[in-house]
């Protein structure tokens, strides 16, 4: 598995070389502690800048950040976690935000309402495949980001760490030593060809056939994150 992740990282580096339509970077990391002192909450602030002279668009899910052990077809931002110079290929930040009883009840009601709305909409289609295609298309269109030349989009996302230093995941095992230094970087894998089947007509012209609707891989510089 280590060789697999090394190959992926080398592919990213080679693909990114010479790509300059976007500037992607982490600008700051702010740490707080939960009220029970059992976990740290890291607010990761990052930016995406259109470094080209033309308006560009791309798919990006701003509401999701995942570990590099997972796939990239979600259009989410992907993080890598480093112990000194070594990549830790396990999901370090894996706990959801703590909710009080009122927040939890609200979240459950919202989730139930969303499920019921999806089921009702699905019933209006003649077959499930048509609904699935249409649902995915709407999801993708909601993830379209457009930036004018020089425009910067600033975003923020919270990652939680439960302070556990001994970590296992599949066949990987790590210990987060107190004397080590730790870093994060972010990557975005901008895709459109894998989604071609969801678009026809004007949508296809605007997205798939549009050279300014870009693809490409972009990785930020590493940013130090403090565990102690």
pLDDT digits (tens, 9 = 90+) for 65-112: 999 987 667 899 999 999 999 999 889 996 556 677 888 888 888 888
- How many residues in total does the chain contain? 228
Asked if 131 contacts 121 with a C-beta cutoff of 8 angstroms, the reply is yes
What per-residue confidence (pLDDT) applies to 202?
Answer: 95
Neighbours of 138 (CB within 10 A): 11
How far apart CA 42 and CA 28 sit, in angstroms, is 10
Show me where the domains of the chain are located: 2-95+146-224
Q: What is the pLDDT of residue 72?
A: 65
Q: Which residues of the chain have pLDDT under 70?
A: 1-19, 71-72, 94-98
What is the pLDDT, as a whole number, of residue 71?
65
Burial of 201 (0-12, 13-18, 19+ CB in 10 A): exposed
Whether 173 and 167 have beta carbons less than 8 Å apart is answered as yes
Architecture of the domain delimited by 2-95+146-224: Sandwich (2.60)
Measure the CA–CA gap between 62 and 72, rounded to whole angstroms: 13
At 69 the pLDDT is 85
How confident is the model over 208-223, as pLDDT tens digits? Answer: 999 999 999 999 999 9
């Amino acid at each position: 598995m280590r060789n697999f992740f090394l190959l992926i990282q080398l592919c990213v580096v080679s693909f990114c070389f010479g790509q300059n339509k976007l500037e992607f970077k982490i600008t700051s990391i702010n740490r707080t502690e939960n009220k029970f002192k059992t976990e740290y909450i890291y607010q990761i602030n990052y930016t995406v800048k259109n470094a080209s002279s033309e308006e560009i668009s791309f798919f990006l899910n701003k509401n999701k950040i995942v570990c590099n052990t997972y796939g990239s077809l979600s259009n989410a931002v992907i993080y890598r976690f480093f112990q000194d110079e070594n990549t830790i290929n396990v999901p370090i930040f894996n706990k959801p935000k703590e909710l009080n009883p009122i927040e939890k009840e609200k979240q459950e009601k919202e989730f139930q309402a969303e499920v019921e709305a999806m089921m009702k909409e699905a019933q209006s289609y003649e077959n499930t495949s048509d609904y699935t295609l249409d649902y995915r298309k709407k999801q993708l269109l909601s993830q379209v980001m457009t930036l004018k030349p020089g425009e910067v989009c600033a975003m923020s996302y919270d990652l939680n760490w439960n302070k556990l230093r001994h970590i296992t995941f599949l066949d990987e095992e790590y210990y987060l030593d107190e004397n080590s230094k730790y870093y994060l970087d972010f990557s975005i894998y901008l895709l459109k060809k894998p989604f071609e089947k969801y678009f026809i007509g004007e949508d296809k012209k605007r997205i798939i056939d549009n050279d300014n609707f870009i693809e490409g891989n972009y990785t930020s510089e590493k940013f130090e994150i403090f565990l102690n």
